[in-house]
Amino acid sequence: MQQFFSYTVSGLSTAAIYAIAAAGLVLTYTTTGVFNFAHGATSMLAAFSYWTMRFGWNWPAPVAIVVCLAVLAPLFGVILERGVMRHLYEASETTRVVTTISTMLGLVGLAVWVWPPARSRPFRRFFDGDVVTVAGVRIPIHVVITLAVAAVVAVGLWAVLSHTRFGVAMRAVVDDRALVALNGARPHALSMSAWAMGTVLAALSGVLIAPTLKLSALPLTLLVVNAFAAAVIGRLRSLPMTFVGALVLGLATEYFRGYQDHLPGDSKYLTGLIASVPVVILFVVLVLGRSPLRGHTITRFRETVQRPTWSGTLGFSVIVVGTAALLADIFPKGDLFTLGRVWGLAIIALSIVPVVGYTGQIALCQLSFAGVGMVMVQHLGRGGNPLALIAAAAVPALIGLLVALPSFRLSGIYFALSTAAFAVLMDRWIFLMPEFRFLGVNWDIFNGGGLNLRRTRFFGWSMDGNHAFFVYGAVMFGVVALIIVLIRRSNYGHRLIALKDSPAACATLGMNTKAAKLGVFALSAGMAGFGGALYGQALQAVTPESVQFLNSLTLIMVMVVAGLSSPGAALFTGAFLGFGLNDVVFGKIADLIPDRVGWAVSFFDSLGSNTLILVGLAGVALVRHPDGVVATYMRPLWDRVVSRQRALVIIGVGLAIAYLLRVFDLISNWPYAIVTLFILAVGPRVLGEPPIPRAPGVGGEREEVLIRADARGR
């Protein structure tokens, strides 16, 4: 009985922290309509800030708490609302989710940059060592404080939101901002207050939970993300039910952890499942809940999905394969080995196009399916058997169908949360599971921690060489890009686009929305599995960390920023993540800076190695360009270049000259790469601009600017 009481107290402490974090999440969603995926990262940032003031600078604990919770946290909330969230109130739900996820990634990258993870940072509890004894169980004062703070937060929020004019006005803003303004309130000020309060609650949860684990950016961020389950139990609106959900979450986690040895079966197979209890509860609650069909939503920005042409896509694929063949002849083996991973990542990025770009269903688990594809190639592709590639696509497609089957009624943030829960479950349990026996066969998913993948052989033609594999990867990317175009141009693709615009209208017209959602998710999962197989073969040695949830978020962020409906965006995503373009660019900038300016060299070196910061900054800018960089800027310019034979010839001649200079060793690899990228990026901008008509007798700077703006279609 004493042991049970001890687990209960520990569970109540965990539940209190989850309740505080979830309350802040519900507060911002209820008052602004934006689900803040960066909530956990905010709490993590506050924990690091408190540690710096309290233990790094040796400030007194009360002073550090006041500065962290009463100054820095609300100030950060105001900045977050003014700089990012204010632009999301009239944006589409996809843009809202993607922007808040990119904010989370940027904050994680910022924390890793400012507080390097290699350094140990001990975090003592409040009144460390002091305890009270209840029924023979010693309860730390830190736990008592946590429970008391949670109770105060619960009562205070309920009183403010339900019994004050200020709270009622905050809740009314999300329903009709214009009507609230007509009644004399200030919607922007109310939203700003809500974000300030929500950020304070996130910071409070981070300061309270940090002493219970190692102070590390990613674990702390994901641990607070567990509070999402409590918020969803409250349907993102009810604070009492949110606190009930936090109570269930905290107690279930501690009871499972404490009594795991008494559960049926071998406990070593349940270790990862016990760590995943919060996400299991989240998935179950989402599946059992309801998510009604959404009608047409008026937004400030509308995403467009252009209808690609066969000639354009075929030409793009031919150029990609031809360029890959040329590069394979001039780049050394070491660079080709690194470049080979680009194609697998690019195909995984292409798998995002049907499910997110066409239907608007936000899937956050593509690398989990890619991991399944790697496992299939490892266990079935011994000796380079090409049939393993079929299994690498078919098995993830089947798993995707099983995942989507209970979730087909979900949409928007609910579907995103369900796929995130699946990804975290794969990370924490399935991919880490030790060897087991099933159906008379021994299964060891990741071979105890890592896979060594053999490259495919086709009719005696081996892909083991880096040259052959690089060209082979380009061919596979071109084939999958053509499949994407086939889907978009088909009647099925038109139905998917209609489903994205208005599921309610599609259901009214008799369209089978369930089958459409299930089919596109399974198709997307199969493509991701196939891309994962190529990605794993390029790496040849992979671990579960290669396909973890955070990498899935980074992948989808880069893809969305580049442009969800473009194969060119997928190629950019593969190059950016696979080859580390940010590291290359900023590294070259650092090489050009004189050594005496050491701080600048260190700045660009560290910025180049931190992909998350750049992804976060780019994702935040997405709110103004929801179609992505490629669709907004590059594609219109290249369309003009293609329509002008002279411009196309000039760019082709420039690329040919650069290639010949490299072939005859007049320039090395990096200058050749820089010149080629410059021609491809700047050439369309210069040659693709339409001529500016100048009317007779019209002059002056203002008239020229207006004519230029009209000619560009802005």
Three-state DSSP class for 38? Answer: coil
Whole-number pLDDT of residue 697: 44
H-state helical runs in 58-186: 61-66, 73-83, 93-114, 141-163, 165-173, 177-182
C-beta of residue 590 within 8 angstroms of C-beta of residue 604: yes
pLDDT tens profile 604-652: 555 555 677 777 777 666 666 666 666 666 667 767 777 777 777 888 8
Above 80 in pLDDT, residue 587?
no
pLDDT tens profile 308-349: 788 888 888 888 898 888 888 777 777 788 888 999 999 999
Whole-number pLDDT of residue 621: 66
**Residue 714 confidence class, pLDDT cut points 50, 70, 90:** very low
Contacts of 137 (CB under 8 A, 6+ apart): 2, 5, 6, 9
Mean pLDDT over residues 493-497, rounded? 85
Listed by start position, the domains of the chain span 2-114+125-225, 259-290+321-548+562-578, 650-712
5-14, 70-79, 160-169: least confident range:
160-169
Q: CA of 140: how far to CAs of 126, 373, 415, 526, in Å?
A: 9, 47, 39, 50
- The DSSP H or E segment spanning 132 is strand 131-134
Q: Are strands 441-443 and 436-438 parallel, antiparallel or unpaired?
A: antiparallel
Mean pLDDT over residues 275-291, rounded? 78
Quick one: what percent of the chain has pLDDT higher than 90?
18
Contacts of 616 (CB under 8 A, 6+ apart): 102, 103, 104, 105, 106, 107, 109, 110, 557
Whole-number pLDDT of residue 286: 84
Above 80 in pLDDT, residue 683?
no
For the chain, what is the total number of helices (H) and then of strands (E)?
35, 8
pLDDT tens profile 458-470: 877 778 888 889 9
Whole-number pLDDT of residue 521: 92
E strands of 401-558, at which residues?
436-438, 441-443, 451-452, 457-458, 461-462, 541-542
Above 50 in pLDDT, residue 101?
yes
Sign of the CA dihedral with 12 first, then 17, 18, and 22 last: positive
Mean pLDDT over residues 559-565, rounded? 80
Give the mean pLDDT of the chain: 80
Above 70 in pLDDT, residue 299?
no
Mean pLDDT over residues 107-132, rounded? 84
Q: Are strands 461-462 and 457-458 parallel, antiparallel or unpaired?
A: antiparallel
Sign of the CA dihedral with 167 first, then 171, 173, and 176 last: negative
**Residue 201 confidence class, pLDDT cut points 50, 70, 90:** very high
Quick one: what percent of the chain has pLDDT higher than 70?
82
Whole-number pLDDT of residue 171: 66
Whole-number pLDDT of residue 704: 40
Mean pLDDT over residues 536-561, rounded? 88
Mean pLDDT over residues 78-106, rounded? 82
pLDDT tens profile 351-366: 999 998 888 888 899 9
Mean pLDDT over residues 210-231, rounded? 81
* Phi, psi (deg, nearest 5) at residue 133: -110, 125
Whole-number pLDDT of residue 297: 44
Mean pLDDT over residues 131-143, rounded? 80
Whole-number pLDDT of residue 67: 95
